[in-house]
Structure 1
Amino acid sequence: MKAGSGATTFGQPDSPGVPADYARNTLLAPFNDLDAIKGLVKTNPGQIACVILEPIAGNMGVIPPHEGFLAGVRELCNQEGICLIFDEVITGFRVGWSGAQGIYKVMPDLTCLGKIIGGGLPVGAFGGKREIMEQLAPVGGVYQAGTLSGNPLAMTAGIETLKLLKEEGTYELLEQKTAYLCSEAEKIARSSKTPTYLSRVGSMFCIFFSRGPVGNYASAKKSDTEAFRRYFWALLEQGIYVAPSQFEAGFVSLAHTDEDIETTLAALHGAFQAAS
């Protein structure tokens, strides 16, 4: 069982507390490797209940799917009668109104959501095909409930957030701001001769301190975490706080002003110099 984001920084890819039975009943395949998933299905015929993945990997930086990867997984699941589940906790309503599945035109059987639909307050949700959802009580026999399910405060914050996101031009503005920030950051990195690989989808981005492209967990792990450490502290000393892990995603939000972005870009000059 692999844990990403901050846990990867500390060299602890195995999450403590995961029961051995869960691990034994979970098969792992590299992101963006359709052949690996096909191999697992072939060697475990009729035994795989579902394929769960982030359509845009956000727990090892930001890694977009290769062309045809998601469509290939969808086709394989259709052929084998396997449920396809997209974890859109990070990407849902962030990269677009229809999430990553809307961008890549691949529809899962179930979708997991969180974060944004609560306006930053604690909330989680899942939904999908009628024949699956009707297995839940009170229609079906699978009981699902929670003390804070439908919490009025979280739901109100979420509704107001979604109203803002649905306004005309919202996602275009986020795209414009993030594209500018990232393109200028790449120029600054090149001028400082700091080896970096910048990956972005919509308002999600990650600056990998890597000499080559990053397309999966193995290539992400090759990043220079010591360079990132120097970069992080150099930014913090200038009043810019980014996630304290090479393997976390960065986000631009509607709250970020043009002044915020310019201040960040000015700080990047010294930060990349410190990292190199």
Structure 2
Amino acid sequence: MNNSEKCFQQAKLSIPGGVNSPVRSFSSVKRNPLFIDSAKGAYVFDIDGNEYIDYVGSWGPMILGHNHPKIQEAVINATNKGLSFGAPTKPEITMAELIKKHISSIDKVRMVNSGTEATMSAIRLARGYTGKSKIIKFEGCYHGHVDSLLVKAGSGALTFGKPSSAGIPDDTTKDTLVCQFNDIKSVEQAIKNNENEIAALIIEPVAGNMNCILPKDNFLKKIRELCNLNKIILIFDEVMTGFRVNYKSAQGYYDVQPDLTCLGKIIGGGLPAAAFGGKSEIMDMLAPNGPVYQAGTLSGNPIAMAAGTACLQTLMNEKNFKDLDHKSKSLTSGLLTVANDYKVPFKTSQIGGMFGLFFTNQESISTFKDVNQCNQEHFLKFFNEMLDQGIYLAPSSFEAGFISLAHTQDLIEQTINASETAFKEIAKVI
């Protein structure tokens, strides 16, 4: 990994921490990051020529596998016409109609460039629509680096032990209420204590930024009922789960319709694209129709729209999602079997093409507190042993894993076989 090491030292001279997103630094797994040169299918290749079976998938977008020929062709054809116009284009309509077709809660949708933009804009819209200020989020959930949402945030913020960020004035977060994921009583109490003041509740329907935590006991349906009773806008942050866990997204899987939905990752096919959408009466509050301002120079970029459209059109059939679900079940059950063989405390979770790995003997993992009680040293050893064998997992125990249609059963078996060495090493220190 000499070339990766050299690049990292060079990068640190010009880029803070040597990376453009904190979790890429690998500091939580006590090694320096890989610098990736190329990718194809289920593999990524670093600049030293090493190949890895990839379960990061660019943090979610690569559901078809890397460099899929249909996406590649769509991008090339789009670039022949130009890169950006700052004006309306037909591909924006095609993307909007595709989203509406598969997500019934969305009448109208606006394109943006990142998940952070989508959540930020959805919250502003909810506040403008309701005339109220306070919002509810959940401990351990991450909705981008929006000032008002970096309170008990998940993902990279958890990895570095900083659930809140410096540089955010107290007044910015005073209207953010933090509840516990999978704890409906905490939501009821927050609403009771702030009657008629809450504009919106934002939630990842499957938490993917404190690892992969599924909702339980009709949690989402109970939240929907509470929001209806109290005139609170329910926002589903499906930047990660959108078209990842089901062809109708998590809201289709759990049969719960939010008022607003935030999408990203997969709808860009690997390029920067995101969106937020919902019922017409709410979305029409946006400028130029209404008083809620939101704008973006590169929103609806034609290249990103071409990539995302090709991705969705290729992905969208129920058979593909059954295949993804089968693959993630095969992977997690195989890893669990090996862990049990070596008597390593270990649990897994999965839904569609998304999975979680937890080093713990707890019976279930359903809250932020449960995740925090997992054994970080065991994860550290597992990650490094697997990487050394060519298996590329997320470099944080607070991140979900992703599988693609390009992962074959042979690659999954290869991953499970590699885990035997990792679990064997962990067993030595238990």
TM-score (norm 2): 0.63
Aligned counterparts of 1:194 and 1:120: Cα–Cα separation in 2:
36
Alignment partner, residue 407 of structure 2: 256
Q: CA deviation at 1:198?
A: 0.6
Of 138-147 and 223-232, deviating more is 138-147
CA–CA separation in structure 1 for the residues paired with 2:341 and 2:329 = 18
**d(CA) in 1 for partners of 2:245 and 2:284?**
29
How many residues align? The count is 276
Q: Where does residue 273 of structure 1 map in the other structure?
A: 424
Work out whether 1:218 is the aligned partner of 2:369: yes
Distance across 2 between alignment mates of 1:131 and 1:197: 44
Where does residue 241 of structure 2 map in the other structure? 91
**Structure index of larger Rg:** 2
1: CA distance, partners of 2:246 / 2:218: 20
Is residue 2:373 matched to residue 1:189?
A: no
Shift of 1:10: 2.2
1:6 CA displacement: 2.8
- The question of whether the paired residues in 2 share the 8 Å contact of 1:111 and 1:128 is answered with yes
1:101 aligns with 2:251: yes
1:43 corresponding residue in structure 2:
193
Counterpart of 2:171, as a letter, is D
Question: 1:34 maps to which residue?
Answer: 184
Give 1:120's aligned residue.
270
Task: Kindly indicate whether residue 144 of structure 2 is the aligned counterpart of residue 144 of structure 1.
Answer: no
Which residue of the partner structure matches residue 25 of structure 1? 175
Matched, 1:4 2:154: yes
1:111, distance to aligned residue in structure 2 (A): 0.2
Deviates more, 1:1-10 or 1:37-46: 1-10
Kept after mapping to 1: 8 A contact 2:184/2:223: yes
Distance of 1:168 and 1:236 partners within structure 2: 32
Specify the SS of the correspondent of 2:399. Answer: coil
SS at match of 1:49: strand
Matched-pair contact (CA < 8 Å) for 2:328–2:351: no
Deviation digits for residues 30-84 of structure 1, max 9, x if unmatched?
1011110000100111111110000000010001001211111000000000100
CA distance in 1, matches of 2:166, 2:154: 13
Query: Considering only aligned residues, what root-mean-square deviation do their CA atoms show, in Å?
Result: 1.1
Offset at 1:168?
Answer: 5.2
The answer on 1:231 being equivalent to 2:231 is: no
Letter in 2 for 1:236: L
1:3 Cα deviation from its structure 2 partner? 2.0
Distance 2:303 2:203 in 1: 30
- Separation in 1, partners of 2:367, 2:405: 29
In structure 2, C-alpha distance between the alignment counterparts of 1:230 and 1:20, rounded to whole Å: 38
Change beyond 3 A, Cα 1:10–1:274? farther
Report what 2:398 is aligned to: 247
Which residue type is aligned with residue 265 of structure 1? Answer: I
Normalized against structure 1, the TM-score is what?
0.97
- Does the CA-based 8 Å contact 1:3-1:15 persist in structure 2? no
Q: Which moved more, 1:236-245 or 1:13-22?
A: 13-22
Equivalent AA in structure 2 for residue 229 of structure 1: L
How far is 1:17 from its partner? 3.2
Q: C-alpha deviations, 1:2-32, integer Å up to 9, x for none?
A: 2212321222111333332221110000101
Asked if structure 1 preserves the Cα contact closer than 8 Å seen for 2:242 and 2:263, the reply is yes
User: For residues 18 and 191 of structure 1, what CA distance do their matches in structure 2 show?
Assistant: 48
SS of the aligned residue for 1:179 comes to helix
* Preserved contact between residue 2 and residue 15 of structure 1 (Cα < 8 Å): no
Cα pair distance change 1:100/1:243, threshold 3 Å? same
Q: Which runs of 4 or more aligned residues in structure 1 lie more than 6 Å from their structure 2 counterparts after TM superposition?
A: none
Q: Are the aligned partners of 1:4 and 1:60 in contact in 2 as well (CA < 8 Å)?
A: yes
Query: Could you tell me how far apart the structure 1 residues matched to 2:344 and 2:395 are?
Result: 19
Q: Secondary structure at the match of 1:52?
A: strand
Where in structure 2 are there 5+ consecutive unaligned residues? 1-150
Matched residue, 1:166: 316
- Counterpart position of 2:219: 69
| TM-fit CA distance, 1:129 | 1.2
Larger RCO, structures 1/2 (Cα 8 Å, 6+ apart): 2
Cα distance in structure 2, aligned partners of 1:155 and 1:91:
19
Structure 1: gaps (5+ residues): none
1:9/1:225 contact within 8 Å kept: no
